[in-house]
Amino acid sequence: MIKKYEDFKSEVRKNMRDGNGEISITHILDCANDLKAQARMFAKLTIVPGASIGYHEHINEEEIFYILKGTAELDDNGEKKILRTGDVAVTSNAGHAIANNGSETVEILASILKF
């Protein structure tokens, strides 16, 4: 299977998971239809300065964040950590939040896998 960029679906979510501002989501794959594996999301997240995704839990799931661009603050199950371009974070059967407290846009490749 090959998907062309122009076929990706995009959306904007306001106050995602009780976070601040708007998060742009570009769905790279439609996991229910494009994959045989148990996945819920494979997308690029764009977080503008001041925006965030609020704290939430992943039960029977893992979410992987790969930072494509920028610097973000991750709340990793209650512990604050700074992620920069090239860093990866995995949340497995736990909670997290992510915020852009800087002055540059943050881009993240995000995947949610089920188990």
Backbone angles phi, psi at 114, to 5 degrees: -100, 150
Q: Which residues of the chain have pLDDT under 70?
A: none
pLDDT of residue 46: 98
8 CB-near residues (< 8 Å, 6+ apart):
26, 27, 28
pLDDT of residue 47: 98
pLDDT of residue 13: 98
pLDDT of residue 114: 96
Which sequence spans correspond to the domains of the chain? 8-114
pLDDT of residue 63: 98
pLDDT of residue 105: 98
pLDDT of residue 21: 98
For domain 8-114, give the CATH superfamily: Jelly Rolls (2.60.120.10)
